[in-house]
Structure 1
Amino acid sequence: MGGTSAAASEVSAAPEAPGLSRRERIEQLRSRIAAVPARGESVAARADRAPGTTTREVLPVPGPLAELLPQGGLPRGSVVAVSGAASLLIGLLASVTASGGHAAVVGHPRLGLLAASEMGADLGRLAVIPDPGPDPVEVAAVLLDGLDLVVLGLGALVVPPSRARAVVARARSKGATLLVTGGGWDGTEIRLDASVREYDGLDRGCGRLRGLRLSVGAEGRAFQRRTARIDLCPRRDRVEWFPETAEPQPLSRVPGGAA
């Protein structure tokens, strides 16, 4: 493994170190975050802007998803709620790490690393902390100090508004983006959701899955809800994202959709 991979492994081990108090685990995590290479400029995309307008740097997203977001990506310093099909979350992680960014996933023990790799993710730039302990919000907040993107699985946890505001302020000051799933978090800037509507390759529940069609929605404080259907299909040993109209696929409908 390279240096980045080693740093990611160290980060993932920190919260689970035995015999340490909560404060000691957090301090250990801070010191290991310092070992992660500095964020590269390549991950920050700048949207075209008209004279007199202010545009924030954004993190890249899969091409068809960019069409749903006013700035064409996830604004740095924002908190974004993500729900529904796991392919959406995995695609976001893949886009950021493949573009040179560093990311961490907190509280998602069943994250599909193989699926992320198939979408082009650089796993050497991804730290996974499946069990962050009793305070996953604090672990995520520390990770914002040194990473471009942090995914926080809240489970059933409801974050008090005052604490949510403090984490939002931290994300903004560090120029990092926080994705939250599950639980309760008030005040997110953008909300993304996805459901599987159709699939290709399965006949009466048998066969090899060759593609998916997602129904994706996006809405935020600054824009009304937008939706699109997006195809995920294998191309050149990778799973790529296509607008529904770009390459029509003979997909079979999923009764009632799928998670």
Structure 2
Amino acid sequence: MSSSTGAALVAPADPRGETVRELQERIRGMQRRTLDTRALPTDPALAELLPGGALAAGTAVAVESSTLLALGLLLGPSRAGSWCAVVGLPDLGVEAAAGLGIDLERLVLVPHPGEQWLSVLAALVEVVSVVLVRPPAPSRPGRPPVSEAAAGRLASRLRQREAALVALGDWPRSEARLSIAESSWSGIGQGFGRLQARQVTVASASRAWSGRGRSRRLWLPGADQRIAPVTAWDAAPAAG
């Protein structure tokens, strides 16, 4: 494990190893505060898409396909000084995470968790507020990435530690499921130019809403690389 100022911690995959225990102790010693409420700090641009208007401690949220949208759910806790972790995303650009506003000094990366990835999640939940995970592909087509029993055990751990899980892909017992319904880029002229910003419609579904979904138009990202609501004053981007 190595770290430097302004850089995320990169942890090994073995959840029983001495390095992971060292990592846990290090984070415990550096935490600014403990959580006082089950409502975790949530970026205002995404709050309306979640039941209760916030990312709730003790729950899981599933995000379909969009890594940037999933990272957006880490923004609030990270800005508030909490530790976050990203598991199973070896191609994640930390520059993009920093551009969104995530504090790299309190971000743990486990790019290759291996076959014991659920044990890695359980170990991280002990010391971080939010874990973003991309589950490995199921062994057979049509099977969920994790069993109901395993998801239930992890949910119990999340409740005990007042942490939250963000799954990039399907996840049993999710509190909400977010997906990109529409997307268009700006910055390209007549066959030339550079992609600068993207407007998307984010759709959200939750059992808490009795089958009624919600949606919101967002910059994901805007020209400043941040997530923000699209307002009536924003010019419509050219389709790309």
TM bin (shorter chain):
0.7 to 0.9
Q: Give secondary structure in 2 for the equivalent of 1:111.
A: coil
- Match of 2:41? 60
Q: Which has the higher contact order (CA 8 A, sep 6+)?
A: 2
Report deviation, 1:60: 2.7
Residue matched to 1:228: 216
* Residue pair 1:214, 1:229 contacting (<8 A) in 2 also: yes
Aligned residue for 1:110?
Answer: 91
Which residue number corresponds to residue 60 of structure 2? 79
What is the CA–CA distance in structure 2 between the aligned matches of 1:3 and 1:114, rounded to whole Å? 15
TM-score, normalised with respect to structure 1: 0.78
Instruction: Structure 2: state its 5+ residue gaps.
Output: 139-144
Maintained 8 Å contact 1:161/1:186: yes
CA deviation after TM superposition for structure 1 residue 93, in Å: 2.5
Q: Residues 205 and 215 from structure 1, CA distance in 2 versus in 1: closer, same or farther, beyond 3 angstroms?
A: farther
Runs ≥4 residues deviating over 3 A: 1-6, 37-42
Q: Do 2:85 and 2:124's aligned partners in 1 also have CA atoms closer than 8 Å? A: yes
The whole-number CA distance in structure 2 between the counterparts of 1:111 and 1:39 is: 24
SS at match of 1:35: helix
Q: Under a length normalisation based on structure 2, what TM-score does the superposition of the two structures give?
A: 0.84
Q: Distance in 2 between matches of 1:227 and 1:171?
A: 27
Cα displacement (A) at 1:247: 3.9
Q: 1:187 aligns with which of 148, 173, 183?
A: 173
Q: Is the 8 A contact 1:4 1:125 kept in 2?
A: no
Question: Aligned residue for 2:102?
Answer: 121
- What per-residue deviation string (whole Å, max 9, x for no partner) do you get for residues 167-192 of structure 1? 0000010000011123x532112211
Percent identity, please.
31
Cα distance change, pair 189–41 in 1 and its aligned pair in 2 (3 A) = same
Structure 1 contact 94–116 (Cα < 8 Å) conserved:
no
CA contact (8 A) 2:71 2:132 kept: no
Shift of 1:114: 1.3
Per the alignment, residue 166 of structure 1 pairs with 153
Question: Are 2:179 and 2:202, in contact at CA under 8 Å, matched by a contact in 1?
Answer: yes
Using the TM superposition, name which of 58-67 and 139-148 deviates more: 58-67
Q: CA 1:23–1:87 in 2, change beyond 3 Å: closer, same or farther?
A: closer
Report the aligned-residue RMSD: 2.6
